[in-house]
Structure 1
Amino acid sequence: MPYEIISRIGRGGMGVVDLAQDEAGNRVALKRLSLHGTPEELTKARLRIRREAEVLQQLQHPGVVRLREVIDEDDDLILVMDFLPGGNLAQRVAEHGPLPADEVERLADHLLDALAAAHRQGIVHRDIKPANVLFDDQGDPHLADFGVAVHRDATPGLTATEMVVGTPGFMSPEQARGEDATAASDVFCLGATLLFAATGAGPFGAGDPRLLLMRAAAGRTEKAPKTLPPELRRRIDAMLAKDPAARPSAAEARGGTDGTEPRTVVRRAWAARNSRALVGGTALVLLLMGGAAFVLVGGDGNSAAPRTTPTTAPATTTSTTAPCTPLPFQPCGEQPAPNTDGKACLEGFADYDGDAANGCEAKADDLGTDSPLDGELVANLVPANDSDTYLLKVGDGIQLTCDGALHVTLTAPKGVSQRVTVFDGSGTLGTAVSGDGEPATVTIGDPNCFFDDATTLRVQVESVGTDRSPADYTLTATGSF
């Protein structure tokens, strides 16, 4: 190998990173990917990585850590990248605290430029986080590990299939649910990274990675604090929109090719999140000062001609008619729609059909968090971002044949997919996805034949994909260790 290793500078799940220098004395970073699998899988993995490396080597942008070449060495592949001596964003915040707002704005401009360039070439990063933002000796930021996340999880022989890709504290809600990452997912991850740079915390708070993953899957994000300047706050919040379609593209968040300001994007995201307020022909009334003229905007979005009522009362007469502004679930002069206070759904109810007239028609089940799972239960995922957890007590029959097994089966309602996951204190024991009414089962074998393995496990049910249903699912548990 034409590089002399100087020292080890990092270690991760896929291998190690070494500082090295070439024959001319230029310093580089060598990322060694340890490949595992059958000879056929290894061959496919090498071909896939090399094919993607050709694409990545064409991504020449000052804000991206350059991939120089890929080297074969026994069963490993080595990615040769530029070495940046300024450390990473995670280290910088840990050592010096959050960055000033103007530095965060500068950081955002640099990184959004780089991300927009990558997206134009069809490259999705999938794991943007503070540790993947590196600084050069001038203090300029660069996105690192472009495409490596794609190699890790799209290449046969490298990882298990259907694996959640990303870092729990910074991944997008759709990634946390196991859906494919897109350019919009990258925008969310970068928004989370910018929030960390500005505050020292990600959008899902702090805690165990499994807890952060659950918060991410439910889209339970923390908004940028009001202590940040309004422009920066609006910029970050737009990138952290729960709905991928409501997020700006990287180019739009940067300002767009025509210099579009980020606030324009924020208004669009706000409108997408609040479109329900105009469903069902609800009228928006704008009272004009000094008269009784007003404009009506119907549910079709067309403006009616201004309607003027002449004033016949003497100038000294004071009108006693109070102005009315319709609410999302309460038109002027009417009672609030069922299960609402006029403004929003009451606790325990949700609006799934988008019809404001019938209010919040979906009712949550009466099972609380960590309710016992004893045999079979029927419940629902209401509201839409709900994630149910249950406690499952498992006995141990001490079977002499060591064939004890626990079976947890989920049957999702028609038209949607839902996932069941079984945890113990050390992590995930198994997961399965039920779709369109077809049952899916997680089976867990007896951990130990000769000892009592009786325990209490946690079972989680959550939605998969973008479709949601208020209909009931069925969850059953049978067997023992």
Structure 2
Amino acid sequence: MTPAESTNYRTEKVLRPGMTTLAVDAAGARVVLKRLPDDCVWRGQLHPSVKQRLERLRELPSTAFAQLIGVEQHAEGMVIVSRYVEGLKLDEVPIEGKPAVLDELWRVTTSVHRLGMVHGAISAGNVIIDKAGAVHLIDPSPLLHDDPAIDLAALEKLGWAPITESVVVAPGIEDRHRRRRSLISAVALTLAAICVAWATVVYLSE
């Protein structure tokens, strides 16, 4: 992903001074402009790992994350341009509706984990519930994250409680766990068979 030159935007609202702005592009679409932290830039360009992550985010076949449009070079630095998602933030949801929203947030988050992607910065301020009730994650960390436990720990801080002890992980990690469980089961069955055979021999020898 190569940063493009700055596009003309009309500022609608400054969300975080010097960092995040709600704006309108030339086509009339509302977008969010977020300045990248300095540690995401290396020698005047996107850090290679940040570039790789942003490319994956833009190509992610999921509506869970707000659509990443691109990266632009502005006077104040490099800026991520994302589609604006209108709706309620998680901390604006009535208390009686939060459990259902948290369950849906868990489903959305783990569906992204199955695609091998981790958000890395889940908080009450970057979970949006749109008018249709769909849950969206905004502002994923531009830094490279590959541990789903980061997101699951964030969900628990928001009040979500796991129903079981099972954890959904990225496909590669999940495959390793599955192979390990299969190996443990095979060893257990083999040991059980040896014990039965040994008991039979002892019984017959008596």
TM-score by length of 2: 0.66
List per-residue Cα deviations over 1:153-182 (Å, max 9, x = no partner).
Answer: x8xxxxxxxxxxxxxxxxxxxxxxxxxx61
Which residue in 2 is equivalent to 1:65?
66
Contact 1:112 1:250 (8 Å CA) reproduced: no
Once residues 89 and 48 of structure 2 are traced to their aligned partners in structure 1, the CA distance between those partners, rounded to angstroms, is 31
List per-residue Cα deviations over 1:406-465 (Å, max 9, x = no partner).
Answer: xxxxxxxxxxxxxxxxxxxxxxxxxxxxxxxxxxxxxxxxxxxxxxxxxxxxxxxxxxxx
Counterpart selection for 2:96 from 89, 96, 99: 99
Which residue in 1 is equivalent to 2:33?
30
Amino acid at match of 2:158: T
Describe the SS at the equivalent of 2:62. Answer: coil
**Does 2:112 correspond to 1:118?**
yes
Once residues 42 and 238 of structure 1 are traced to their aligned partners in structure 2, the CA distance between those partners, rounded to angstroms, is 47
Contact 1:64 1:114 (8 Å CA) reproduced: no
The 5 Å alignment of 1:209-220 reads none
Which residue in 2 is equivalent to 1:50?
51
Contact 2:64 2:112 (8 Å CA) reproduced: no
Describe the SS at the equivalent of 1:248. Answer: coil
Contact 1:184 1:249 (8 Å CA) reproduced: no
Describe the SS at the equivalent of 1:128. Answer: coil
Q: RMSD over aligned Cα, in angstroms?
A: 3.3
Once residues 30 and 65 of structure 2 are traced to their aligned partners in structure 1, the CA distance between those partners, rounded to angstroms, is 17
Describe the SS at the equivalent of 1:104. Answer: helix
Which residue in 1 is equivalent to 2:83?
82
Fraction of identical pairs, as percent: 24
1:25 offset after TM fit, Å?
0.9
Contact 2:101 2:135 (8 Å CA) reproduced: no
Once residues 17 and 75 of structure 1 are traced to their aligned partners in structure 2, the CA distance between those partners, rounded to angstroms, is 12
The 5 Å alignment of 1:92-241 reads 92-93=92-93, 96=94, 98-100=95-97, 104-109=99-104, 111-148=105-142, 150=143, 182-195=147-160, 236-238=161-163
Alignment size in residue pairs: 169
**Structure of higher RCO (CA pairs closer than 8 Å, 6+ residues apart):** 2
1:126 offset after TM fit, Å?
2.1
Change (3 A) 1:50 1:75: farther
Amino acid at match of 1:24: A
Amino acid at match of 2:86: P
Which residue in 2 is equivalent to 1:373?
none
Amino acid at match of 2:55: E
Describe the SS at the equivalent of 2:96. Answer: coil
Describe the SS at the equivalent of 2:158. Answer: helix
Once residues 154 and 192 of structure 2 are traced to their aligned partners in structure 1, the CA distance between those partners, rounded to angstroms, is 34
Amino acid at match of 1:52: R
Contact 1:50 1:70 (8 Å CA) reproduced: no
Once residues 24 and 192 of structure 2 are traced to their aligned partners in structure 1, the CA distance between those partners, rounded to angstroms, is 63
Once residues 45 and 28 of structure 2 are traced to their aligned partners in structure 1, the CA distance between those partners, rounded to angstroms, is 34
Structure 2 unmatched runs, 5+: 1-6, 171-190, 197-206
1:142 offset after TM fit, Å?
0.7
1:143 offset after TM fit, Å?
1.1
Contact 1:184 1:247 (8 Å CA) reproduced: no
Counterpart selection for 1:5 from 11, 14, 37: 11
**Does 2:159 correspond to 1:248?**
no
Which residue in 1 is equivalent to 2:173?
none
Name whichever structure is richer in helix by fraction. Answer: 2
Contact 2:121 2:151 (8 Å CA) reproduced: yes
Amino acid at match of 2:53: E
Change (3 A) 1:107 1:56: same
List per-residue Cα deviations over 1:314-333 (Å, max 9, x = no partner).
Answer: xxxxxxxxxxxxxxxxxxxx
Contact 1:17 1:31 (8 Å CA) reproduced: yes
The 5 Å alignment of 1:291-306 reads none
1:189 offset after TM fit, Å?
1.9
The 5 Å alignment of 1:400-411 reads none
Describe the SS at the equivalent of 1:99. Answer: helix
Contact 1:128 1:193 (8 Å CA) reproduced: no
**Does 2:6 correspond to 1:41?**
no
List per-residue Cα deviations over 1:109-133 (Å, max 9, x = no partner).
Answer: 3x23432332233222222221121
Change (3 A) 1:301 1:185: farther
Contact 1:238 1:248 (8 Å CA) reproduced: no
1:35 offset after TM fit, Å?
1.9
Contact 1:70 1:77 (8 Å CA) reproduced: yes
Which residue in 1 is equivalent to 2:187?
none
Amino acid at match of 2:73: D
Structure 1 unmatched runs, 5+: 155-180, 196-235, 240-245, 252-299, 306-481
Contact 1:3 1:21 (8 Å CA) reproduced: yes
Amino acid at match of 2:14: R
**Does 2:12 correspond to 1:17?**
no
Change (3 A) 1:58 1:194: farther
